[in-house]
Amino acid sequence: MLVLGVESSCDETGVALYDSVRGLLAHALYSQIAMHNDYGGVVPELASRDHIRRVLPLTRQILAESGCSLADLDGIAYTQGPGLAGALLVGAGMARALAYALDIPAVGVHHLEGHMLSPLISDTPPEFPFVALLVSGGHTQLMLVDGVGRYTLLGETLDDAAGEAFDKTAQLLGLGYPGGPALSKLAASGDASRFTLPRPMLHSGDFDFSFSGLKTAVLTLVKKAGIGAAPDIAAAFQDAAVDVLVMKSLAACKHSHARRLVVAGGVGANTQLRERLTREAAARGIAVFYPRMEFCTDNGAMIAFAGAQRMAHAAPELTFAVKPRWDLATLEAV
Ligand code: KG4
Ligand code: ZN
């Protein structure tokens, strides 16, 4: 079954072709980061308009690259939510219209399910069950995953998401948007031991997170130590954030008796998080699985893959709705 995947929930237009037998055939991405950089964050209206410009040329590009034609498609998957309503509508409208014209099913995919299953796009995918650490710009959750659509929330952030904390800290340190990669790069030249920042909720005994206090602590530190100390502050921030993510993930694995941990979402691209998690998990007999680096942040491949898992249940529909807010734990098992 050949599935076209379309991602347009935020500031990246991603498309991909996933075949349930042959695997991932092609994928392409257009990032709007440069456009939003001038505003210090994503401008929803500009994002929607740019998705309109990109989505069809990108789709033509991957069809040409893979030697496929529209007639070869068996279904189309698109991000139905959560995300920016106008941006979601671009992908949903394009996918539904094309599916209708081709008389094939279209399926709306949960963006976080896409992230969470992205490590399965691999020759050596993890088996179920596993614990998933979802760390994106909008979400931070620990989930127990027993199968596709069989998700139990173990814990989540009570305020800022991990990626949001990286972005806001980066902004305080005068770095651009998105802040995660820039902050992590700056931290590499800093001394993490010069300052110690709080590890919020490290010993709360549950699997919830809180990152807004960490951001406030950074603000206080910037005022006290000055912007000249930015590399050391960045290193201290990254240390604290990674510490909490690693300890909580390992505690969630222990609680669930899980031998496998999956990390997904933009912050999963963080090198320090990857190194520490892999090392400390291995010491406890837990294997950690990551998506390919390019599939940590938003992409079409994860939507095509998750869509392919759900395609058998896709119903032909003339109307459609996007879900800017959507609880992952409410999905149905397939
Ligand atoms: O998953 P994603 O592309 O979009 C959402 O669904 O939110 O995640 C984007 C987030 C941003 O907050 C970005 O700063 C963060 O992931 N990020 C990183 C790194 N690369 C991206 N955070 C820390 N270190 C990185 N290397
Ligand atoms: Zn995402």
Q: What is the pLDDT along the chain (334 residues), one digit of tens a residue?
A: 999 999 999 999 999 999 999 999 999 999 999 899 888 889 999 999 999 999 999 999 999 999 999 999 999 999 999 999 999 999 999 999 999 999 999 999 999 999 999 999 999 999 999 999 999 999 999 999 999 999 999 999 999 999 999 999 999 999 988 899 999 999 999 999 999 999 999 999 999 999 999 999 999 999 999 999 999 999 999 999 999 999 999 999 999 999 999 999 999 999 999 999 999 999 999 999 999 999 999 999 999 999 999 987 776 666 788 999 999 999 989 8
**178 and 84 share one domain:** no
Which of 12, 42, 134, 136 to probe ligand 1 with, by most ligand atoms within 8 A of CB? Answer: 136
Q: Report the nearest atom of ligand 1 relative to the CA of 9.
A: 6
Measured from the Cβ of residue 233, the count of other Cβ atoms closer than 10 Å reads 29
**164 and 274 share one domain:** yes
**Which residue, chain included where needed, has tokens 């031998």?**
259
**9 and 132 share one domain:** no
The total domain count for the chain is 2
Is 243 exposed, middle or buried, given 0-12, 13-18 or 19+ CB atoms closer than 10 A? middle
**277 and 249 share one domain:** yes
On whether residue 121 sits in a domain, the answer given is no
Q: What separation in Å is there between the alpha carbon of 122 and the centre of ligand 1? A: 21
Among protein residues, the one whose CA lies closest to atom 7 of ligand 1: 137
Residue 278 Cβ inside 6 Å of ligand 1? The answer reads no
Q: What separation in Å is there between the alpha carbon of 111 and the centre of ligand 1? A: 14
On whether residue 177 sits in a domain, the answer given is yes
**226 and 263 share one domain:** yes
On whether residue 320 sits in a domain, the answer given is yes
**110 and 68 share one domain:** yes
Among protein residues, the one whose CA lies closest to atom 10 of ligand 1: 137
On whether residue 122 sits in a domain, the answer given is no
Measured from the Cβ of residue 125, the count of other Cβ atoms closer than 10 Å reads 12
103: its two tokens: 């008389």
**What gap in Å lies between CA 275 and CA 285, rounded to an integer?**
15
Do residues 7 and 91 make contact, with C-beta atoms less than 8 angstroms apart? yes
Q: What separation in Å is there between the alpha carbon of 19 and the centre of ligand 1? A: 27
Nearest listed ligand to the Cα of residue 161: 1
On whether residue 249 sits in a domain, the answer given is yes
**231 and 99 share one domain:** no
On whether residue 169 sits in a domain, the answer given is yes
Nearest listed ligand to the Cα of residue 12: 1
Among protein residues, the one whose CA lies closest to atom 8 of ligand 1: 266
Among protein residues, the one whose CA lies closest to atom 16 of ligand 1: 266
Nearest listed ligand to the Cα of residue 168: 1
Residue 265 Cβ inside 6 Å of ligand 1? The answer reads yes
**317 and 283 share one domain:** no
Nearest listed ligand to the Cα of residue 164: 1
Q: What separation in Å is there between the alpha carbon of 297 and the centre of ligand 1? A: 6
On whether residue 100 sits in a domain, the answer given is yes
| Backbone angles phi and psi of 202, in degrees to 5 | -60, -40
Residue-level pLDDT at 316: 62
Nearest to 310 by CA among 75, 65, 63: 75
Please measure the distance between the N-terminal and C-terminal CA atoms of the chain and give it in whole angstroms.
16
**211 and 323 share one domain:** no
Asked whether the whole model's pTM tops 0.85, one would answer yes
Residue 269 Cβ inside 6 Å of ligand 1? The answer reads yes
Which of 133, 267, 303 to probe ligand 1 with, by most ligand atoms within 8 A of CB? Answer: 267
Nearest listed ligand to the Cα of residue 293: 1
Q: Report the nearest atom of ligand 1 relative to the CA of 111.
A: 6
Q: Structural domain of residue 317, as residue ranges?
A: 2-116+295-330
Do residues 279 and 273 make contact, with C-beta atoms less than 8 angstroms apart? no
* Single-letter amino acid code for the residue at 58: L
**283 and 300 share one domain:** no
Residue-level pLDDT at 318: 66
Do residues 278 and 271 make contact, with C-beta atoms less than 8 angstroms apart? no
* Single-letter amino acid code for the residue at 74: D
On whether residue 93 sits in a domain, the answer given is yes
Residue 27 sits in a domain whose CATH number is 3.30.420.40
**What gap in Å lies between CA 198 and CA 240, rounded to an integer?**
7
**47 and 175 share one domain:** no
Give Dmax over CA atoms of the chain in angstroms: 63
